[in-house]
Structure 1
Amino acid sequence: MSAEPPAPDPEHFGPYRVLGVLGSGGMGRVLRAHDAEHEREVALKVLHPQWAQDEGYRGRFRREARIVARLNEPHVIPIHRYGEIDGQLFLDMRLVEGEDLDSLLRRGGPVDPARAVDLIGQVAHALDAAHAMGLVHRDVKPSNVLLVARSDGGDLVTSAAGEDFAYLADFGIARGGDEGTGPGLTATGTAVGSTEYMAPERFGPGAPDARSDVYSLACVLYEVLTGRRPFAPGDPLALMYAHLHEEPPPASTLRSSLPPGLDDVVRRGMAKDPGRRWQTAGELSAAARAALAASGVPVPRPDAAAATVGPDGGAGVRTPTRREHLGDAPSERPPAQAPDRKPWLTRLTWAVAAIAVLAVLLLTALLVVIDGRADDATADASEAGARLVALSLPAGVDPAGCNVEPPAEGELRRLSCPSDSQPEGVPTGRYTALGGAGAAEEFAAHVEANDLRQLQEPGDCGSSDTPQGWAEVTDADDRVLGRLSCAVDDDGDAELRWVWDDLGTLGFVEQRGGGEDGLSSLRSWWSSEADRS
């Protein structure tokens, strides 16, 4: 076994002087650093040493970094340099001083329509450039849109349309639409992306393409216009069902000042069938601009710096028109007939009998329908659970080597993945989807029952100082994605459990007789194959 690479100087990383930590996650850390050679401050993404020891990943890292570095598009954060220093892979990127769009919306609420459409247009330029090179971003969301700070030091909340410059960040998890589900530059696992903005096809087995990013961009447009996500976050099952089957309320019904023409733009951008959507991000942006122009709202000029990227702006775009929604006129009731006051007892007896028979038939039919709907609901829940579990399976797990087990109470789907049916190095595991907050509650109960203390980060699991405990799993912006626990049971088996909040799924792997030493190897496997941070 090769020796571990030496720990880097905490104040230096190769030629870079470390000035601070911008974020951290399961893949590594993002540092604020000074590049002495070029006399500039940069954002330095440094991956954990284990990634450099994986030859397959090293090759993919360099291939993807090379493609992203070639994205010579103004709204993509430039990559200055990439490579390996002291056994750790790194990306040297432009340091953007400013604020992400998610933070801006939380502080200031929705922005005016012209500013919203201008911002979406800038992100669309970045996406069209990436798509032209065969890359799919897969995680378009407000927190990945960075706004450059104002030169006058003013609050970005008060900026007007045309005054923003936006970058689409985190192309580190971008990959070709026909690639597998292995780890990207900043994320691993199959569920790459945020389910609040995930296109319906992402919940199935097929690979996403550029139109999946268009769907996510339409979700972002909706949120920037209304201050609300298209579908409320919460129950993962309900959220997935909404993306697959429901329509969000029109944006103009949530904010009356919005031009109704934008409703058509968002509706088409969020079409369930990818073939019925805008086929490029540029088409969505151009349609939004046309809708504003048709309503008389002044629109900032298109971004001239990026105008050469993507399709012809307004070609073939239909100008949406205002639609009046008229209800049906109330129907007139026929004049009431004068009651027949003659005592037709025989007719009354037959009528009562007929009503009784009809009631029995109706009740029987109703019970059949209810029973059928219950069966359908059970089948739908099972199918939804299967999709959620499939999304949360670690990258190295072969579903064909798993057994479907009868779900326990509250569970939607349960897979048992025997180690002898999995590729070498994949531990025995169990993966479960639960309804509502069931996964989080079951994880919390396990932590309480085993009196596990909170650790600073997932990497502490299995360490010599704190081998057992639990930690929050966060992304580079310190947003909580889930939690990971590591413990040794009474039989000396090493166990790892984790929960993904947005999917409502629980994962569990064990190493029989592994003890505390086994926790370290399990956590290394989890970091490389299952971590989504």
Structure 2
Amino acid sequence: MDDTEPAGEQFGDYRVLGVLGTGGMGRVLRAHDAAHERDVALKVLHPQWAQDEGYRERFRREARIAARLHEPHVIPIHRFGEIDGRLFLDMRLVEGEDLASLLGRSGPLDPARAVDLVGQVARALDAAHADGLVHRDVKPSNVLLVGRGDGVDLADAAAGEDFAYLVDFGIARTADPGAGPPLTGTGLAVGSTEYMAPERFGGPPPDGRADVYSLACVLFELLTGQRPFAAPDPAGLMHAHLYEPPAAPSSLRAGLPRQLDDVVLRGLAKDREQRWGSAGALAAAARAALAADGVEVPRPVEHPDAVPTVQGPLPPGDGDGRSVTRPRALVPSAPTAVGAPATVGPVAGGAAVPAAGWSAPVAAGPPAGVPADPAGDRPGPRYGVGSLLAVAAVPVLVVIALGVLLLVTDRRADRAGDQVRDAAGRLLAFTLPSDVDAGSCDTADPAGDVLRELRCGPTQDGEGPTSGRYAVAAGTGAGDAFAADVSAQDLAPLDDVYGCGSGDDGQGWVAVTDLDPDGDEVEVGRLACWVDDDGDAVLSWTWPDVGSRSVVELRGGGEPGLSDLRSWWAATADRGY
């Protein structure tokens, strides 16, 4: 079976009924399993990935992990293997809608329904954590609601009427730090920055409490329709997770009980030691908070077979799709700012604000020695020497106080700037290819939109480029710099990433794609390759969602070197799967 073959063709024992989604790593097919008389969802890798042992192992890991979690809220895996040199994953076929799409259509959910859904996801997470696994990508688009066979729109469902699956265990990982290196090329490919715990950006190896933080982010969004943090660029978002306090949900949506604020904010604690000890504990506390406010949360159905289902495809993700189609979101959701924090930190526009409680002292009534007139008339000039000194001291005190305030504000602004640079540095470390050692690179002075830049020599194993520049930029700086590369080299579009170093020219640029929550192919980055005037092979790429741009060179590589760089990039840095 090739990628253009129509429905009705055979793939081993499976008869292909249609294509549910296509992405950089493979496709998700609707197929009929004749041996077991059932329709299934097949995730099938493109042939080129099946030849790469790293991708093969990651694919097998996803299958093994999901297959061993016998929990009702994890999509069942029937079987996995290889047919005609192509890896495949056979999953239950379910129709439904993911939470991201539902939120886009309906806005925030009824609190009882939100807590019910979080409780179901928590059960899947607790099962994974008990098995020593950390999911690492808990977010609304990875929570799938089973569709209703009675025709009722999921937007109109009530608490207790949903059945939720936690999907995409493709990047799940053991919490044991000695279990070996991650299977993705770049650390930031694992997880979505909007929902990532602070320790995920550098610190102790993440454990189940990182998933608890992400689940608290999901609960926050289900209750308010907003994410806990919004920022104009990825470095700002990372800074918010690391340093800024989130708003109380009740401050963003009237009517939410204050007890629920305490539950959510504890789940969002920066220090994981201060969070709920398990996903189940978070869910139970949220349920109890509503009960204390007189709102009972109905118990959900206990098994998906109790929910009417029809056939459809799963939401796509890091593993190129799962097994469910859902209605197209009619109103796209977007994060909104949650207001300025009470503590010092950068705000939109780059300014820093002093902490609440700082103010210059001002005179609050007549100066010392001047009695107030009970009748309200201004008293006459009856100052003595002491009172004149006191009056003269007031503006001096005000000037001193303002000077102290400005000094403290400047120091806090400096600290906020240091925090932004720290966040950008952590972000940059996460965008590096897996075989580039940041400790052996030189830090370049930032200029323009660039927040942090490293200049590195050959990779640790000597494979790949002989030099590289890796940067994180504010706003659209990374994409603008990439566009300037393409314009300066007058590069034409390529059909795919394999066009680098092959074909008639082997030079050009291409969009790197993945699947969005609706199963559509969307652009997630761009890659360009060319040979410069010195005969060096050059590869440039950008990931706009993390604000990164990288340019690497293979000295004297010429056009054959482009193919070598592209293969290196696919193994160590590609996030388009």
TM-score range (shorter-chain normalised) is 0.7 to 0.9
Q: Deviations over 1:96-116 (max 9, x none)?
A: 211111111111111111111
Alpha-carbon contact 1:99-1:148 (below 8 Å) kept: yes
Show the counterpart of 1:502. 545
Alpha-carbon distance between aligned partners in 1 of 2:408 and 2:258, rounded to the nearest angstrom = 39
After superposition, the Cα gap between the structure-2 partners of 1:521 and 1:33, relative to the gap in structure 1 and judged at 3 Å, is farther
Name the stretch that deviates more: 108-117 or 504-513: 504-513
After superposition, the Cα gap between the structure-2 partners of 1:167 and 1:233, relative to the gap in structure 1 and judged at 3 Å, is farther
Paired AA for residue 273 in structure 2: G
What is the CA distance between 1:172 and its match in structure 2? 1.1
After superposition, the Cα gap between the structure-2 partners of 1:148 and 1:455, relative to the gap in structure 1 and judged at 3 Å, is farther
Are residue 407 (structure 1) and residue 446 (structure 2) matched?
Answer: yes
Are residue 177 (structure 1) and residue 175 (structure 2) matched?
Answer: yes
After superposition, the Cα gap between the structure-2 partners of 1:357 and 1:290, relative to the gap in structure 1 and judged at 3 Å, is closer
**TM-score w.r.t. length of structure 1:** 0.84
Name the stretch that deviates more: 229-238 or 204-213: 229-238
Show the counterpart of 1:488. 531
Count of aligned pairs:
502
Are residue 416 (structure 1) and residue 455 (structure 2) matched?
Answer: yes
Alpha-carbon contact 2:537-2:553 (below 8 Å) kept: yes
RMSD: 3.3
Query: Secondary structure at 2:549's aligned position in 1?
Result: strand
Name the stretch that deviates more: 338-347 or 401-410: 338-347
Are residue 200 (structure 1) and residue 202 (structure 2) matched?
Answer: no
Show the counterpart of 2:484. 445
Alpha-carbon contact 1:495-1:519 (below 8 Å) kept: yes
After superposition, the Cα gap between the structure-2 partners of 1:457 and 1:30, relative to the gap in structure 1 and judged at 3 Å, is farther
Paired AA for residue 531 in structure 1: D
Name the stretch that deviates more: 85-94 or 207-216: 85-94
Alpha-carbon distance between aligned partners in 1 of 2:489 and 2:45, rounded to the nearest angstrom = 32
What is the CA distance between 1:479 and its match in structure 2? 5.0
Structure 2 residue ranges without an equivalent (≥5): 305-356, 358-362
Are residue 189 (structure 1) and residue 227 (structure 2) matched?
Answer: no
Alpha-carbon contact 2:62-2:169 (below 8 Å) kept: no
The sequence identity of aligned pairs, in percent, is 61
1:24-173 to 2 correspondence within 5 Å? 24-55=22-53, 58-59=56-57, 61-173=59-171
Alpha-carbon contact 2:162-2:300 (below 8 Å) kept: no
Alpha-carbon contact 2:507-2:531 (below 8 Å) kept: no
Show the counterpart of 1:474. 514
What is the CA distance between 1:138 and its match in structure 2? 0.5
Show the counterpart of 1:273. 271
Alpha-carbon distance between aligned partners in 2 of 1:513 and 1:18, rounded to the nearest angstrom = 47
**TM-score w.r.t. length of structure 2:** 0.78
Alpha-carbon contact 2:117-2:162 (below 8 Å) kept: yes
Alpha-carbon distance between aligned partners in 2 of 1:416 and 1:152, rounded to the nearest angstrom = 59
Show the counterpart of 2:429. 390
Alpha-carbon distance between aligned partners in 1 of 2:383 and 2:274, rounded to the nearest angstrom = 64
Query: Secondary structure at 2:137's aligned position in 1?
Result: coil
Alpha-carbon distance between aligned partners in 1 of 2:15 and 2:4, rounded to the nearest angstrom = 10
Query: Secondary structure at 1:111's aligned position in 2?
Result: coil
Paired AA for residue 553 in structure 2: E
After superposition, the Cα gap between the structure-2 partners of 1:453 and 1:112, relative to the gap in structure 1 and judged at 3 Å, is farther
Paired AA for residue 92 in structure 1: D
Query: Secondary structure at 2:44's aligned position in 1?
Result: strand
Name the stretch that deviates more: 239-248 or 443-452: 443-452
Alpha-carbon contact 2:239-2:420 (below 8 Å) kept: no
Q: Which has the higher contact order (CA 8 A, sep 6+)?
A: 2
1:328-347 to 2 correspondence within 5 Å? 336=372, 341=381
Query: Secondary structure at 2:205's aligned position in 1?
Result: coil
Are residue 521 (structure 1) and residue 519 (structure 2) matched?
Answer: no
Alpha-carbon distance between aligned partners in 2 of 1:20 and 1:459, rounded to the nearest angstrom = 26
Show the counterpart of 1:315. none
Query: Secondary structure at 1:502's aligned position in 2?
Result: helix
Alpha-carbon distance between aligned partners in 2 of 1:52 and 1:472, rounded to the nearest angstrom = 19
Paired AA for residue 470 in structure 1: V
Alpha-carbon distance between aligned partners in 2 of 1:55 and 1:292, rounded to the nearest angstrom = 49
Query: Secondary structure at 1:178's aligned position in 2?
Result: coil
What is the CA distance between 1:77 and its match in structure 2? 0.9
What is the CA distance between 1:357 and its match in structure 2? 7.3
Paired AA for residue 425 in structure 1: E
Q: Deviations over 1:95-140 (max 9, x none)?
A: 2211111111111111111111111111111111111111111101
